Structure 1
Amino acid sequence: MSNERIIYLPLGGAGEIGMNCYVYGYGKPGEERLIVVDLGVAFPDMDTTPGVDIIFADIAWLVENRARIEAVFITHAHEDHVGAVGHCFERLGAPIYARAFTANIARGKLAEYGYSEDTVRTASKWPETIKAGPFTVGFLPISHSIPESSGLVIDTPQGRLIHTGDFKLDAQPLVGEAFDPDLWAEVSAPGVRALICDSTNVFSPNPGRSEVEVGPEIEKLVASAPQLVVATTFASNVARVKTLADAGSKAGRSICLLGRAMRRMIEAAIETGVLTDFPRVVSTEDAAAIPRENLMLIVTGSQGERRAASAQLSRGKYNGMELKEGDLFLFSSKTIPGNEKDVIRIINNFSERGVDVVDDSSGKYHVSGHANGPDLARLHEIVQPQIVVPMHGEHRHLREHVKLAKSKGRAGVLAVNGMMIDLSGNEPTVAQWIDAGRTYLDGSVQIGAMDGIVRDRIRMALNGHVVVTVILDEDDEPLGEPWCELKGLPETGRSHAPLVEVLEEDLSQFLGRAGDKTLTDDDKIEEGMRRIVRNTAQNEIGKKPEVTVVVSRLS
């Protein structure tokens, strides 16, 4: 029996929604040749990751095994699948393959880091394939909420794997390729060892709806609006952006796109031939001169992002445009869990301005890009895999997806980030555990989630900060009194005296009592002063702040 094996290792996207990064390997244990599927990002929040720009998978294990990586394959152009290519390429050094539209987006991200267009190789759709070491990989078209989404057919010496990527079963997606059940059945006919499958909407009990269903409802809404119409959706949902633009055009309105991401996606779709009949758009300068009842803005910021066009419009003027009482604002999107506060803040801001806001609570103006529970069951039946491996979902999604597979008599395995699965036998087994953390882009620097930097930032935000400075002369005697600088702390406490004066008095007493062993040892001075500040602050204001002690000595 061969001692070679197939392995599957999620580094991001399994146990969470977003930050997708998956590894497949084939060969002898510890010597497998590897391919990487997707390099995506997640987005921070002020509660847990203040100041962080984006988050992506910790690829330390991949870097350690860089010489074994054959290629990187990107399934589609959503940020949680392609957003980290520019940040990770140099450390991985492997060629990147993607279909034309996705490649266009990926090249733009890599260009920001000075990489040439040749870094990303444009792949054709199935049945054309790419040889990558022991793997043969093909891009299998499937519908999603962005053009040219593809599953991957991954052939190994021990059988065929299918990695779905993100998908829905949409026969009329308007833009991009429709789901073709006959093609998927044909590809699956030789036998599929494992289906590695999107789990995002596993709990949704009804079959998913088609993109074509939202167009008529949006047209009615836009046609009935008496004044300016503004709509937001995911910038990457090219079909929805086109639906919105078509609705505005049919209502006799000029169309203006606001937001760099929105314009970039439409440009990429036109450049790659995905879009051929998008309505003519006007510039923001020209839009300002068009009567409000004849204008429609399509803007970024459907998730409440503070810098996006939606949020800025809700706070006042943006690029010379301003919403007024009686205008209509449409959220043609679903609010991703965790973004509710930011979206509601925008809605309330618009409400204060007298703007009528319509969201998707009615279900009329948005359909999901992910397969619902019945759709997942249908794909299982089409593919007939030996093993189902749920991916792209929180733990509860993965667990429910395993239950769905087992209810139909199929083997299922719940694999979270860092769990290396051996897919070679009749039943999947855990082969190894890998440290699978997170990397933060903090400004222009990549830092580890466990480095303590963000933790310290959170502690300062929660507790405030005190800087204590003390100077000692050549004889190790204090030169004057220590002084404090406070940030994020109230001016007075329980004693009603200024907090800074109470702290400085207690610190002076500490120095006055200190012996030579303390005064000649910077570490002991810092330790003592830190303890004094925290204890005094606790008594005065009920908080223990973070403390920095600066000891200066005259030589």
Structure 2
Amino acid sequence: MSGRDRLIYLPLGGAGEIGMNAYVYGYGKPGKERLILVDIGIAFPDMASTPGVDIILADISWLSERLDQLEAVFITHGHEDHVGGIGHLYPQLQKPVHARKFTANLARRKLQEKGQDPSVVETAAPYPAMIEAGPFKVGFLPVSHSIPESNALVIDTPGGRIIHTGDFKIDRTPVVGEPFDDALWAEAAKPGIRALVCDSTNVFSKHPGRSEAEVAPNLKPLVAAAKGMFVATTFASNVARLQSLAIAGEAAGRSICLMGRAMRRMTEAAREEGILTDFPKTISPEDAANVPRESLMLIVTGSQGERRAASAQLSRGKYFGMELKEGDTFLFSSKTIPGNEKEVAHIMNNLSEMGVDVVTDDDGLYHVSGHANRPDLETVHAITDPQIVIPMHGEHRHLREHAKVADALGRVGVVVPNGTMLELSGNAPKVVDHVEIGRVYLDGSALVGQFDGVVRDRIRMALNGHVVVAVMVDDDNQILEDTWVDIRGLPEVVRGSAPLAEMMEEHLAGKLARVDTRTAGDDEKLEDLIVKGIRKVAQDEIGKRPEVTVLITRLAAE
């Protein structure tokens, strides 16, 4: 391919959804661009659409097929939907990874857990320092968010400067981590911004964003007034909130215990990198068991209802020897992410049945968002004054609304969903290609493709049940009697007393008695006949079309 050099943007994840962020930038001749990848995150499954799946990752096959064009990977911050895929997908990337020190610490841990070399992660200094990667120069521009050391990226290319915001909010008093620095952002914008690729999560929130510093004063009286044990859950990565909670507990004379692997990992990393310097002393779960209830505060994982996290386990009974009782208080210092409402409500109801007082953030007292609301987005548009605004990190409705906001401010807003390649060269952005993308599922310890059929079959079995049929055929292609049927996920008895499996066996016996030797000798034809017979009985009796597995045993002549 030939032609002029071009600047491209291609989201592989995170544009049209909240989570699983992975964005490609490229510069060079069409089809031969040098590439960089920004973020490599994960999303979390649900039982309705991805039963049994552990995590969901972006399909980066388009990128791995062009590995010789990839220069480097840049990670904006340490949230799972931005860095969580590094351990699983690094074997497909095999390029240097750049991140600020706290995020680099987390990325190295993830690589080590998967047996990868952690030294591939290089620690970056903040902007105005720049890292060269082929035709790109990339700087980490500090920004406030709900995890320390979050960054936008300043991406210099021969086709112009791009600012990729990552996740951000305008918080000038973030408690832990770096505040939003208006002057530094204005300095970054001075050369002129070709495109602002911008967080869209809270575009529908029209009130100004609130600072993390507003939460701490509300927490202290709440904890002080509690009579029994006090338990709080929040995002494990929200180190500032963990500190505010712990300080409130300490002020109330309570011993502080952190429960949950992710929470301990985050605080360890923050201490190692000098981000947490005055976190109150904590005790182990073993020691916590010996502390009087009225003198104990647990800070636990599971604010989104995760079944195996500490919050869910406490709501079901004991966890590390700790048990909630009537008169205890449980605080959700978090916002429920859309899609998790049912799981969170289940935990709350379990706690209520125990007599535990459940406190939520319905009044906006105990949580603030880590994402920019519409007024903050408009402020960043004004500071950077970009030619083009490309909304990202949001569902399609968020992207579309954000593009409208940009248009109303006199800029070009472009909706670019996952798999859409946008050229940023020339007088106006234009779509130049569509890339086939999908999902990759971590299912136990195996990575399976979205279209491999594993999850599809699991859903079908969950919806319709499963029937196994065993049939024997002799060497003369005569079907032997006593075909065996076993059912799973279907009612055993129908019409009050008739066993469903026996009804299927009787129906098959009649059908198979009339089968000619040609059909009996052809596995495919015989299986098709049996499947149709089983499904007819199931449809007639219970209105279901189950999944059917046919086991054909052929007896060889002695």
Give the TM-score band, short-chain normalised.
over 0.9
| Higher mean displacement: 532-541 or 493-502 | 493-502
- Residue 169 of structure 2: aligned partner: 168
Query: Do residues 63 (structure 1) and 61 (structure 2) align?
Result: no
* In 1: Cα distance, 2:434 partner to 2:477 partner: 54
CA-to-partner distance for each residue in 1:419-467, whole Å, 9 max, x for gaps?
0000112211001110121111111111111122111110000000000
What secondary structure, in the 3-state scheme, does the structure 1 residue paired with 2:459 have? helix
**Counterpart residue identity of residue 392, structure 2:** M
- Residue 386 of structure 1: aligned partner: 387
* In 2: Cα distance, 1:289 partner to 1:87 partner: 40
Mapping 1:111-122, distance limit 5 Å: 111-122=112-123
What secondary structure, in the 3-state scheme, does the structure 2 residue paired with 1:125 have? coil
Post-superposition shift, 1:476? 1.8
* In 2: Cα distance, 1:37 partner to 1:118 partner: 19
Query: Do residues 215 (structure 1) and 197 (structure 2) align?
Result: no
| Higher mean displacement: 167-176 or 113-122 | 113-122
CA-to-partner distance for each residue in 1:408-427, whole Å, 9 max, x for gaps?
11011100000000011221
Unaligned runs of 5+ in 1: none
Is the contact made by 1:168 and 1:371 (CA closer than 8 Å) also made in structure 2? yes
What secondary structure, in the 3-state scheme, does the structure 1 residue paired with 2:498 have? coil
* In 1: Cα distance, 2:187 partner to 2:371 partner: 22
**Counterpart residue identity of residue 187, structure 2:** E
**Counterpart residue identity of residue 53, structure 1:** D
- Residue 312 of structure 1: aligned partner: 313
* In 1: Cα distance, 2:297 partner to 2:330 partner: 10
* In 1: Cα distance, 2:85 partner to 2:423 partner: 27
What secondary structure, in the 3-state scheme, does the structure 2 residue paired with 1:334 have? coil
Post-superposition shift, 1:480? 2.7
**Counterpart residue identity of residue 163, structure 2:** I
Is the contact made by 1:494 and 1:541 (CA closer than 8 Å) also made in structure 2? no
Mapping 1:71-82, distance limit 5 Å: 71-82=72-83
* In 1: Cα distance, 2:278 partner to 2:444 partner: 39
Q: How does the TM-score come out when normalised to structure 1?
A: 0.99
Query: Do residues 454 (structure 1) and 416 (structure 2) align?
Result: no
What secondary structure, in the 3-state scheme, does the structure 1 residue paired with 2:470 have? strand
What secondary structure, in the 3-state scheme, does the structure 1 residue paired with 2:494 have? coil
* In 2: Cα distance, 1:96 partner to 1:435 partner: 25
- Residue 17 of structure 1: aligned partner: 18
Post-superposition shift, 1:241? 0.4
Mapping 1:463-474, distance limit 5 Å: 463-474=464-475
CA-to-partner distance for each residue in 1:348-385, whole Å, 9 max, x for gaps?
00001000000010100000000000100000000001
- Residue 360 of structure 1: aligned partner: 361
Is the contact made by 1:27 and 1:33 (CA closer than 8 Å) also made in structure 2? yes
Aligned length: 555
Is the contact made by 2:8 and 2:422 (CA closer than 8 Å) also made in structure 1? yes
- Residue 336 of structure 2: aligned partner: 335
What secondary structure, in the 3-state scheme, does the structure 1 residue paired with 2:214 have? helix
Mapping 1:260-279, distance limit 5 Å: 260-279=261-280
What secondary structure, in the 3-state scheme, does the structure 2 residue paired with 1:275 have? coil
What secondary structure, in the 3-state scheme, does the structure 2 residue paired with 1:517 have? helix
What secondary structure, in the 3-state scheme, does the structure 1 residue paired with 2:45 have? coil
Query: Do residues 528 (structure 1) and 529 (structure 2) align?
Result: yes
Post-superposition shift, 1:479? 2.6
Post-superposition shift, 1:540? 1.3
CA-to-partner distance for each residue in 1:132-164, whole Å, 9 max, x for gaps?
000000000000000000000000112111000
- Residue 489 of structure 1: aligned partner: 490
* In 1: Cα distance, 2:216 partner to 2:477 partner: 79
Mapping 1:264-303, distance limit 5 Å: 264-303=265-304
Among the aligned pairs, what percent are the same residue? Answer: 65
**Counterpart residue identity of residue 126, structure 2:** K
**Counterpart residue identity of residue 413, structure 1:** V
| Higher mean displacement: 513-522 or 128-137 | 513-522
Is the contact made by 2:478 and 2:517 (CA closer than 8 Å) also made in structure 1? no
What secondary structure, in the 3-state scheme, does the structure 1 residue paired with 2:539 have? helix
**Counterpart residue identity of residue 304, structure 1:** G
Is the contact made by 1:144 and 1:369 (CA closer than 8 Å) also made in structure 2? yes
Is the contact made by 1:421 and 1:429 (CA closer than 8 Å) also made in structure 2? yes
Query: Do residues 180 (structure 1) and 181 (structure 2) align?
Result: yes
Mapping 1:186-265, distance limit 5 Å: 186-265=187-266
* In 2: Cα distance, 1:125 partner to 1:245 partner: 29
* In 1: Cα distance, 2:419 partner to 2:328 partner: 49
Mapping 1:36-51, distance limit 5 Å: 36-51=37-52
* In 2: Cα distance, 1:463 partner to 1:217 partner: 50
Is the contact made by 1:8 and 1:25 (CA closer than 8 Å) also made in structure 2? yes
Post-superposition shift, 1:66? 0.6
CA-to-partner distance for each residue in 1:196-255, whole Å, 9 max, x for gaps?
000000000101000000101011100110110000000000000000000000111100
Alignment RMSD, CA only?
1.0
CA-to-partner distance for each residue in 1:49-88, whole Å, 9 max, x for gaps?
0011100110010011110000000000000000000111
| Higher mean displacement: 491-500 or 427-436 | 491-500
**Counterpart residue identity of residue 220, structure 2:** E
Q: How does the TM-score come out when normalised to structure 2?
A: 0.98
- Residue 434 of structure 2: aligned partner: 433
Is the contact made by 2:481 and 2:509 (CA closer than 8 Å) also made in structure 1? no
* In 2: Cα distance, 1:117 partner to 1:107 partner: 5
What secondary structure, in the 3-state scheme, does the structure 2 residue paired with 1:478 have? coil
**Counterpart residue identity of residue 164, structure 1:** T
* In 1: Cα distance, 2:542 partner to 2:163 partner: 59
* In 2: Cα distance, 1:532 partner to 1:114 partner: 50
Post-superposition shift, 1:478? 2.3
**Counterpart residue identity of residue 21, structure 2:** N
Is the contact made by 1:21 and 1:38 (CA closer than 8 Å) also made in structure 2? yes
- Residue 540 of structure 2: aligned partner: 539
Query: Do residues 326 (structure 1) and 327 (structure 2) align?
Result: yes
What secondary structure, in the 3-state scheme, does the structure 2 residue paired with 1:256 have? strand
| Higher mean displacement: 234-243 or 433-442 | 433-442
Q: Which runs of 4+ in 1 moved over 3 A?
A: none
* In 2: Cα distance, 1:477 partner to 1:5 partner: 68
* In 1: Cα distance, 2:455 partner to 2:521 partner: 33
* In 1: Cα distance, 2:41 partner to 2:47 partner: 20
* In 1: Cα distance, 2:57 partner to 2:116 partner: 20
* In 2: Cα distance, 1:72 partner to 1:116 partner: 15
- Residue 147 of structure 2: aligned partner: 146
Post-superposition shift, 1:525? 1.1
Is the contact made by 1:495 and 1:540 (CA closer than 8 Å) also made in structure 2? no
Post-superposition shift, 1:474? 2.0
* In 1: Cα distance, 2:524 partner to 2:134 partner: 56
